[in-house]
A and B are shown apart, each in its own frame.
Chain A
Amino acid sequence: MCSHFLRTIALMWTLAAASGSLYAVDGVVLIDQPHALAGGITPADAPGFPITISQSGSYRLSGNLTVPDINTVAIEITGALVTIDLNGFSILGPNVCTSSQSGGVPTGVTCTGSTNGDGIVARTGALAVTVLNGVIHGMGGNGINLGFPGDGSNGNVRNVLADNNGGDGIFTSGLVASSIAMKNGASGIEAASVSNSVALGNGQEGINVTFGAASGNTATGNVNNGISSAVAGAYNNTVNGNGISIGANCPSLVVNNTEAQNASAGVFAGAGCLTSPNAVGN
């Protein structure tokens, strides 16, 4: 009786909240848990998760989003030209990742699971997607997945914290700036370019850049390379306490970095890399 009553009240609250305006005073589409459950955020959006964004425009969280399990995607984007402002809120899943080490060397990150349940994922048709200003925590898959680095689909991320996700923290085709990726099951950040960001204690690479540059970042306690450069540049980074320091597929430019207490030096595969000067104390 009591639990039935509480469920009824909860349902009424959900419906009442979801019946509120989808639009902020500045025209941005607002997204919160009740609206996610109700559906209709865009014409292709069915009730419940994932929230499907099929139309270009500006979207903003007005509350946290919580998915029920590690297999569930929170937001999938099928339209071009979409901005999602997390607005300081979080996308939350139940995944928990635990890091291990041996003799001070990071040896692995084990998560509850590793699935395709991304926090935000760009599907076919998505182009020029920007995600900013919030937290993606505990998803089964990648925290953010906006296309292969350097593929031209132009997915960009700023001011995001991605942690305890089963895949990468941030995996995107374009730029990542001023973000933090920590204790994710795979790599912290994979992108064309990464600047002024932090990768801490991730299960594979800390930061992996392809056809771009890593500059001004800190990579600490990651299981494989602190920074990995695939035909790219790595400048002015601090890389400490990783399983491997900075590695590169050449030609790449790896200069002016500070490297200390990494378990092994990086491998430079191929020819044409410039690898000095760096301050190395591994």
Chain B
Amino acid sequence: MSYRLSKTLACACILAAVPSGLFAVDGVVLISQPGSAQGFPIVISQPGSYRLDSNLVVPDANTTAIQITASNVNLDLNGFGIFGPTVCSGSPATSCTPSGSGTGVLATNPPSGTSTPGEISVFNGTVHGMGNFGIFILGPGRAENINADSNGSTGIAVTGTVLKCVATRNGSLGIAARIVNDSLAVQNASSGMEILASGTGNSAILNHADGIVVFRATISANSAFLNQGDGINAMCPSIVLFSAATHSTGNDIVLNSIGPDTCASFNNASNKPAVIITN
């Protein structure tokens, strides 16, 4: 197959998968609300740069808005939002209705049959009211400058990095990722954040369970206030430093030693003394 033909077929594939696929003047593929004949999910099956040029509104809680099946995809929400019908109630949230299987941006990188995953980045917008996750990226991924609120499950779940995001009143966790920096989780129905590698400059406020859960990770300069479980809950080995936790319903700082694995905790502030639990 010639290069020209393969390029043509690739282009045709993009246009079919992204029904409203128009190109911006800078070559980025534009995505807008699909017509009734095309419907959701909008599937991005080719690497490239994509940008919303309108809000996307899904009809029910079981509908996924955007499904990414390729690697090396940049998706700029461009200040727009992806909206579903789910409403989470309570302060903090305690229930979300209707719940469903629909996710705002769903990426299962790497696609099946490939061995070299590339990064999927989603940035600059809002995901609100989806029946399931707000954003779910499996594999190398990045969510940056995202507001995720009132989604039926976790607001932002990324196996890579979350930067400068805000997760408010989601039905499960606010944010779950390996690296979380400069982000905020408020009034979520479960814990505010789960951090699996490192976290800096985050705050978790008034979440229904723990503020920040640390799984064998290092966190610094984080704050947890008014959470209804523990403030900072670390599974050892972890390092917790220069962080503050107070006004927690449970303990402010908990270090869970598991067998020989212990935690290091330095220069933290809390209203209650740190609690070390040996398992």
Q: Do A and B bind each other?
A: yes
- Which chain A residues border B257 with CB–CB below 8 Å? none
Question: Is B201 part of the contact surface with A, judged by Cβ < 8 Å?
Answer: yes
| Contact among B30, B126, B187 with A81 in the assembled complex (CB-CB below 8 Å) | B126
Within 8 A of A (CB), among B203-246: 203, 205-206, 221-223, 225-226, 242-244, 246
Given A27-B54, A154-B166, A232-B244, A130-B79 contact (CB < 8 Å) = yes
Within 8 A of B (CB), among A232-264: 232-233, 235-236, 251-253, 255-256
Given A56-B83, A175-B182, A213-B201, A251-B145 contact (CB < 8 Å) = no
Contact B53 A28 (CB under 8 A): yes
Binds A, one of B41-49, B94-102, B110-118, B268-276: B268-276
B126's closest neighbor in chain A, by CB? A81
A154's closest neighbor in chain B, by CB? B168
Contact flags A19-56 to B (C-beta < 8 A → 1, else 0)? 00000011110000000000000000000000000001
B200's closest neighbor in chain A, by CB? A215
Chain A nearest CB: distance from B185 CB in Å? 11
- Which chain A residues border B8 with CB–CB below 8 Å? none
Question: Is B267 part of the contact surface with A, judged by Cβ < 8 Å?
Answer: yes
- Which chain A residues border B81 with CB–CB below 8 Å? 56-57, 81
Contact B32 A27 (CB under 8 A): yes
- Which chain A residues border B78 with CB–CB below 8 Å? 26-28, 58
- Which chain A residues border B149 with CB–CB below 8 Å? 127-128, 154
- Which chain A residues border B126 with CB–CB below 8 Å? 56, 81, 83, 128, 130
Contact A177 B166 (CB under 8 A): no
Interface size on B, residues (CB 8 A): 50
B202's closest neighbor in chain A, by CB? A213
Question: Is A158 part of the contact surface with B, judged by Cβ < 8 Å?
Answer: yes
Contact B53 A83 (CB under 8 A): no
Cα distance A177–B243 when bound, in Å? 19
Contact A253 B55 (CB under 8 A): no
- Which chain B residues border A25 with CB–CB below 8 Å? 24-25, 30, 53
Contact flags B164-197 to A (C-beta < 8 A → 1, else 0)? 1010110000000000001010110000000000
Question: Is A222 part of the contact surface with B, judged by Cβ < 8 Å?
Answer: no
Chain B nearest CB: distance from A83 CB in Å? 3
Contact flags A145-177 to B (C-beta < 8 A → 1, else 0)? 000001010101010000000000000001101
Contact B226 A211 (CB under 8 A): yes
Contact A195 B182 (CB under 8 A): yes
Contact B244 A56 (CB under 8 A): no
Most buried by B among A150, A158, A271: A150
Question: Is B125 part of the contact surface with A, judged by Cβ < 8 Å?
Answer: yes
Contact B184 A193 (CB under 8 A): yes
- Which chain A residues border B201 with CB–CB below 8 Å? 193, 195, 213, 215-216
Given A59-B79, A211-B226, A272-B271, A152-B221 contact (CB < 8 Å) = no
Sample of 7 more A-B contacts, CB < 8 Å, known A28-B53, A272-B271, A274-B268: A28-B79, A56-B81, A80-B128, A154-B168, A175-B164, A175-B184, A255-B267
B interface residues (Cβ-Cβ under 8 A, vs A): 24-25, 30, 32, 51-55, 78-81, 83, 91, 124-126, 128, 145, 147, 149, 164, 166, 168-169, 182, 184, 186-187, 201-203, 205-206, 221-223, 225-226, 242-244, 246-247, 267-271
